[in-house]
Every structure is written in structure tokens, then in C-alpha cells.
């Protein structure tokens, strides 16, 4: 792996982290396209590079998280089930699922079908929760539980939380912003866990690659956050569902 690879990964991460298309799945498939084997460092890189996108959220929404205790409490409530499930399944996910492209492609297809069906049938009600500080705690907890499904590469953390929140009665703008904020402690916790376990084996060059990739993902994510928030308030999930299915089909036919 070299600096050019890190830049490519950074662009992919920044573009996909907040879209319902699975950034981790995209990073793993990108590694396959680049001919890079799933080494232990690359698996850690695919987790830790998300820190760049997380910092973009802090820049855009930091005041919402730090300046509103009621919002912070709901984010922490949603975080609890994600941390518990993620910690329990960490070894299985990193040891097996990151290397199984069939699972990733199947998750992309199934998630795409789910997005298309949801986009077809869901209609936002007039009583949808319009402010993050008004999200009921049971709903916040359930959103965190649904987010935990994204430990499987290809299941999109953003997609799971947004669809879950909409199904639980949140407005589009509210659930998208809540998903962005929930990403901050989720990604931070995943990175700390992985680096604690594996950071001692990183060479100095590895840390430089990680810094480069994270920096690129930060810049790209600053743009993609605003785009997705603007898009999702006016459009639906159909395009993302179709994209996921076409991507999986193309990868299966031409690469796999």
C-alpha cells in the first residue's frame, strides 16, 4: 500500500460515509480493485480512516452535539447498544467478514432492495419528530440497535440509522442529522478499539498513510455531508438502492 492508495481510499470514504451505500463495503471492494490483499493493517486502515469523516461532522455539527445537552443524551442512548454489539462481534467481523466479498455483495443487494421498498412505501406523517432534542429515548435506543447491523460490511451505518429513524417516526432532516452526530462516538469508539488492539504493530509509514487517508476523507466529507442533507430532504432513497444493486452486480460479473 502506498500514498496514492491512501488518497483513493480517502476519497471513497469521504464520499460514502454518510450515504446509505456502506463506506466500509466500498473500501473493501476498492482494495480488491486495486489488487491489495486484506492484511491486518489494511483492515485497521479501513476502520480508522473514518476518523477523517468524523472530524468533518464535528466541524459542521459540533455545536449541536456539545451545545445541546438533550441532544447529547439521546446520542449517548443510541450509542449504548451499538458499542455492546460491536464489542462482542469485533473479532468475528474483522477476522472473517472483512475478507468475504460474497457477504459484502449480498449485503449491498439486500440493502438496496430494502431501500427501494422503503422509498416506495414510506410516507412521512404530519407528527414526525422534527427536532433532535425531542426524540423519545426508546426510539433513540432502537436507532442505535439498528445501527449495530452495520458491523456487517455492506450494510451501511447511515442507511440503517436513517431508515430505522424514519420508520420510528422521525422527520427526514432530524434523522439524517442525528445519524451524522451518532457517527462521531461510533467511529471514535471503533477506531480506539482497533488501534488499541493493533496499533503497536503499525510501522511509522503506516501511521503516515493513515494520516494522509484520513485528511483526504475529511475534506471530501465536508462536501458530501452538505450534499446528502440537501438531497435527502427533497428526494428519496431509490437512487441509492438501485446503485447498490448495480454495483454488486457489476462487481460480481466483472471482478469477483
Q: List the one residue out of 64, 84, 105, 117 whose CA is nearest residue 189.
A: 84
Confidence of residue 65 (pLDDT cuts 50, 70, 90): low
- Report pLDDT digits (tens) over 224-245: 887 887 777 677 788 999 999 9
Number of domains in the chain: 1
Confidence of residue 64 (pLDDT cuts 50, 70, 90): low
For residues 226 and 218, give the distance between their C-alpha atoms in angstroms, rounded to a whole number.
13
Q: Count the helix, strand and coil residues of the chain and give each as a percent rounded to the nearest 5.
A: 80, 0, 20
- Beta-carbon contacts of 226 under 8 Å, excluding residues fewer than 6 positions away, are 60
Global pTM reads: 0.86
Structural domain harbouring 61: 3-254
- Report pLDDT digits (tens) over 141-167: 999 998 888 778 888 888 888 888 888
Q: Supply 52's cell numbers.
A: 477523517
Strand-pairing partners, residue 76, are none
Torsion of CA 152, 221, 196, 186, to 10 degrees: -60
Residue ranges of E strands in 8-124: none
Q: What is the arithmetic mean of pLDDT over 134-140?
A: 91
Amino acid at each position: 500500500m502506498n500514498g496514492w492508495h491512501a488518497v483513493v481510499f480517502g476519497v471513497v470514504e469521504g464520499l460514502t460515509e454518510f450515504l446509505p451505500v456502506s463506506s466500509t463495503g466500498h473500501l473493501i471492494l476498492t482494495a480488491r480493485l486495486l489488487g491489495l490483499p486484506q492484511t491486518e493493517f489494511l483492515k485497521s486502515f479501513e476502520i480508522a480512516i473514518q476518523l477523517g469523516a468524523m472530524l468533518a461532522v464535528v466541524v459542521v455539527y459540533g455545536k449541536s452535539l456539545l451545545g445541546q445537552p438533550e441532544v447529547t443524551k439521546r446520542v449517548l442512548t443510541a450509542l449504548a447498544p451499538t458499542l455492546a454489539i460491536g464489542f462482542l462481534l469485533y473479532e468475528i467481523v474483522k477476522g472473517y467478514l472483512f475478507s468475504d466479498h460474497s457477504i459484502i455483495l449480498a449485503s449491498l443487494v439486500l440493502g438496496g432492495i430494502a431501500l427501494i421498498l422503503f422509498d416506495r412505501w414510506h410516507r412521512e406523517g404530519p407528527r414526525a419528530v422534527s427536532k433532535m432534542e425531542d426524540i423519545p429515548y426508546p426510539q433513540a435506543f432502537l436507532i442505535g440497535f439498528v445501527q449495530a447491523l452495520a458491523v456487517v460490511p455492506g450494510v451501511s451505518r447511515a442507511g440503517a440509522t436513517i431508515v430505522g429513524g424514519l420508520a420510528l417516526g422521525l422527520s427526514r432532516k432530524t434523522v439524517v442529522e442525528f445519524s451524522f452526530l451518532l457517527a462521531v462516538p461510533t467511529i471514535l469508539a471503533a477506531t480506539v478499539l482497533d488501534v488499541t488492539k493493533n496499533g503497536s504493530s503499525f510501522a511509522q509509514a503506516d501511521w503516515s498513510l493513515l494520516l494522509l487517508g484520513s485528511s483526504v476523507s475529511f475534506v471530501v466529507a465536508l462536501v458530501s455531508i452538505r450534499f446528502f442533507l440537501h438531497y435527502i430532504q427533497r428526494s428519496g432513497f431509490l437512487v441509492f438502492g438501485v446503485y447498490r444493486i448495480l454495483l454488486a452486480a457489476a462487481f460480481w460479473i466483472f471482478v469477483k
